[in-house]
C-alpha cells in the first residue's frame, strides 16, 4: 500500500487552488439519475469517491463522459436498480442513490452501509422519511429493498439534521405528488448546491440552506448544467496548514462564507486571516494560541475539520478542549497524533490537548479521510527526520492531488508506492 513521506519544517507559502466539493459533487452526480438527457457538471474533483459513485451508476446504466473537471451524465437507459455491497462498503455515501432511484424507477436495492471508523452512522432517518412518503422498505440479506409506485409529499421532521438524509429526501421529493415539508433539515452549503442543481432541472424548492425546506413536486425534470461549489473542507485543511507551519498561503477559489467558524477560531489562535478577491489569505503566527472547539452542524465548526484543527492545537501554547457533538467516535486520530508526541487525553466525546513545543517524526497510520489530513498537517511540523503516513488510500477518497498542492506551497512530501496487500 502507498504511503506518504513528509520532511517537516518547511512553512507553506504561495497560492493553492481549491477543487470542487466532494460532498456536493456526490449528490449532484446521483441527481443525474432523476431524468434522462445529458447533464453537464463542472468543477467535479478527481477523487476515488467520485469514481466509486460513477462506477455504481454505470452498473445501473448511466453513461459518463469526462473532460478535465467537466463530467457529462446521461441516464437515458437505466437497466438496474441495485448498489452492491462490494462498492457500498467502500463509500457510505452510496446511500445517496436511494432517493433518486426510488423517484425515477419506483424501486431501489442498496446494500446497507455498515458502521465506520467514526461511529455507527445509522440511516434510520432517511428510511423513516421515505416510508412517510409512501415507500415500502424492508431489509433482507444486508440490503435495503425499497419500492414506491408513486412517492407522495409529506410533512417530515428529522430528529437530527442529517446531511445525506436531507439530500436523499430532496431528490425523492422533487417529483413526488404534492408538497413535502422537511423540518430540522440540515443546512450545509452542499445541500444548497444540490437544491440549486435540482432547481435548474425544473424542481420547485424553497428554503434550501435553512432548517425548513419545502418541495412542491413537479411532473417533469430536464437535464441541466451546474458548477459544483468549492470544497470548504479542502480549503480549511490548507488554511490550517498555513497556520501550523507559520506560513503565508492564498487559498484561492474558496468561499469565505462557508468557512466563517474556522476563520474565527484561526483568528483567535493569532493567525491572520484576510478575505481577499477570489479567496482567503492565511498568515500563520509566530506562536499559536490555544482555543476550544465544539463541532456542530453548519454554520458551526465542521466535524470534518476537527482532526486537522487538533493537529494545530497539538503545537499551540497552553490547553484546549475539543467537544465532538456530531459523531460518537471521532477521536481515532488521537492515538496516531500521540505517536508524533502530541499530549492528548480523551474523556468520552471530549479531548483535552496540552500544546507541546514540538512534535517528533514517526511512522503513523491513517484511519479515515480527515484523520489522514490531520496526520499530514502534523507531519509538516514534526522534527527530527521523516514522518511516514501509511494507509493513505483514505486520503485519495477526498483530497485531489494533495501532494502536488502541498509541494506547490513549498512542503516536502512524496508518495512512495508500496506492495499491494
Distance (Å, whole) CA 298 – CA 303: 9
**Site for ligand UD1 (CB under 6 A): which residue of 56, 103, 125, 198?**
125
Residue 26 vs 73, nearer CB to ligand UD1: 26
Distance (Å, whole) CA 35 – CA 238: 37
Segment 185-224, which members bind ligand UD1 (CB under 6 A)?
186
Q: What is the DSSP pairing of strand 225-227 with strand 38-42?
A: parallel
CB of residue 335 to ligand UD1, shortest distance in Å: 20
Please, which residues have CB within 8 angstroms of residue 357's CB and are 6 or more apart in sequence? 315
Residue 304 near ligand UD1 by CB under 6 A: yes
Residue 296 vs 360, nearer CB to ligand UD1: 296
**Site for ligand UD1 (CB under 6 A): which residue of 45, 99, 100, 165?**
165
Going by C-alpha positions, the residue among 320, 248, 330, 255 that lies closest to residue 295 is 330
Identified catalytic residue from 105, 112, 116, 346: 116
Grid coordinates of 10? 518547511
Residue 168 near ligand UD1 by CB under 6 A: no
CB of residue 233 to ligand UD1, shortest distance in Å: 7
Residue 238 vs 327, nearer CB to ligand UD1: 327
Residue 185 vs 381, nearer CB to ligand UD1: 185
CB of residue 269 to ligand UD1, shortest distance in Å: 23
CB of residue 27 to ligand UD1, shortest distance in Å: 7
**Site for ligand UD1 (CB under 6 A): which residue of 48, 121, 390, 415?**
121
Q: What is the DSSP pairing of strand 70-74 with strand 38-42?
A: antiparallel
Q: How many residues bind ligand UD1 (CB under 6 A)?
A: 20
**Site for ligand UD1 (CB under 6 A): which residue of 62, 75, 111, 164?**
164
CB of residue 215 to ligand UD1, shortest distance in Å: 18
Distance (Å, whole) CA 55 – CA 73: 12
Residue 273 near ligand UD1 by CB under 6 A: no
CB of residue 125 to ligand UD1, shortest distance in Å: 3
- CA 254 from chain centre, in angstroms, equals 15
- Specify whether 116 is catalytic: yes
Residue 123 near ligand UD1 by CB under 6 A: yes
Residue 165 vs 341, nearer CB to ligand UD1: 165
Radius of gyration of the chain (CA): 21
Grid coordinates of 70? 467537466
Segment 345-374, which members bind ligand UD1 (CB under 6 A)?
none
Residue 163 vs 313, nearer CB to ligand UD1: 163
Residue 93 near ligand UD1 by CB under 6 A: yes
Cα–Cα–Cα angle for 94, 19, 7, nearest 5°?
105
Residue 124 near ligand UD1 by CB under 6 A: yes
- The DSSP symbol for 278 reads T
Q: Please give the torsion angle defined by the CA atoms of residues 304, 11, 69 and 98, in that order, rounded to the nearest 10 degrees.
A: -10
**Site for ligand UD1 (CB under 6 A): which residue of 303, 361, 367, 374?**
303
Distance (Å, whole) CA 301 – CA 42: 28
Stretch that binds ligand UD1, among 40-48, 82-90, 162-170, 340-348 (CB under 6 A): 162-170
At residue 21, the 3 state secondary structure works out as coil
In this structure, how many other beta carbons lie within 10 angstroms of the beta carbon of residue 222? 11
Task: Tell me the DSSP string of 351-409.
Answer: EEEE--S--B--EEE--SHHHHHHHHHHHHH-BSSEEEEE-THHHHHH-TTHHHHHHHT
Residue 36 vs 122, nearer CB to ligand UD1: 122
> Is the distance from CB of 71 to CB of 64 less than 8 angstroms?
yes
Query: Which residue numbers are catalytic?
Result: 116
The site for ligand UD1 (CB under 6 A) is made up of 23, 26, 93, 119, 121-126, 160, 162-165, 186, 303-304, 326-327
Amino acid at each position: 500500500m502507498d504511503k506518504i513521506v513528509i520532511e517537516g519544517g518547511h512553512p507553506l507559502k504561495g497560492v493553492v487552488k481549491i477543487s470542487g466539493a466532494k460532498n456536493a459533487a456526490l449528490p449532484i452526480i446521483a441527481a443525474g439519475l432523476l431524468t434522462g438527457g445529458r447533464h453537464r457538471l463542472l468543477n467535479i474533483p478527481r477523487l476515488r469517491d467520485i469514481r466509486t459513485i460513477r462506477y455504481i451508476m454505470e452498473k445501473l446504466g448511466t453513461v459518463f463522459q469526462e473532460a478535465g473537471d467537466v463530467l457529462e451524465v446521461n441516464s437515458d437507459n437505466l437497466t438496474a436498480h441495485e448498489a452492491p455491497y462490494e462498492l457500498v462498503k467502500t463509500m457510505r455515501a452510496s446511500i445517496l442513490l436511494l432517493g433518486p432511484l426510488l423517484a425515477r424507477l419506483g424501486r431501489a436495492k442498496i446494500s446497507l452501509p455498515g458502521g465506520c471508523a467514526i461511529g455507527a452512522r445509522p440511516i434510520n432517518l432517511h428510511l423513516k422519511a421515505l416510508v412517510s412518503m409512501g415507500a415500502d422498505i424492508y431489509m433482507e440479506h444486508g440490503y435495503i429493498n425499497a419500492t414506491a409506485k408513486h412517492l407522495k409529499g409529506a410533512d417530515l421532521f428529522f430528529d437530527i439534521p442529517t446531511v445525506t438524509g436531507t439530500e436523499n429526501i430532496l431528490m425523492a421529493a422533487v417529483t413526488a405528488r404534492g408538497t413535502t415539508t422537511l423540518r430540522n433539515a440540515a443546512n450545509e452549503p452542499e445541500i444548497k448546491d444540490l437544491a440549486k442543481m435540482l432547481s435548474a432541472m425544473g424542481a420547485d424548492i424553497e428554503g434550501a440552506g435553512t432548517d425548513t425546506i419545502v418541495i412542491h413536486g413537479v411532473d417533469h425534470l430536464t437535464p441541466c448544467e451546474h458548477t459544483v461549489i468549492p470544497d470548504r473542507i479542502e480549503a480549511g485543511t490548507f488554511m490550517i496548514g498555513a497556520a501550523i507551519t507559520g506560513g503565508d498561503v492564498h487559498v484561492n477559489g474558496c468561499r469565505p462564507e462557508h468557512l466563517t467558524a474556522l476563520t474565527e477560531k484561526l483568528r483567535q489562535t493569532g493567525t491572520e486571516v484576510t478575505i481577499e478577491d477570489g479567496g482567503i489569505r492565511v498568515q500563520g503566527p509566530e506562536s499559536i494560541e490555544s482555543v476550544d472547539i465544539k463541532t456542530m452542524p453548519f454554520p458551526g465548526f465542521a466535524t470534518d475539520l476537527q482532526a486537522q484543527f487538533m493537529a494545530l492545537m497539538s503545537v499551540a501554547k497552553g490547553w484546549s478542549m475539543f467537544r465532538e457533538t456530531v459523531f460518537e467516535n471521532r477521536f481515532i486520530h488521537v492515538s496516531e497524533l500521540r505517536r508524533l508526541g502530541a499530549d492528548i487525553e480523551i474523556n468520552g466525546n471530549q479531548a483535552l490537548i496540552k500544546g507541546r513545543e514540538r512534535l517528533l517524526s514517526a511512522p503513523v497510520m491513517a484511519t479515515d479521510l480527515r484523520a489522514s489530513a490531520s496526520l499530514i498537517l502534523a507531519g509538516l511540523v514534526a522534527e527530527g527526520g521523516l514522518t511516514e503516513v501509511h494507509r493513505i488510500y483514505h486520503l485519495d477518497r477526498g483530497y485531489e492531488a494533495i501532494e502536488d498542492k502541498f509541494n506547490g506551497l513549498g512542503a516536502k512530501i512524496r508518495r512512495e508506492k508500496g506492495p499491494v496487500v
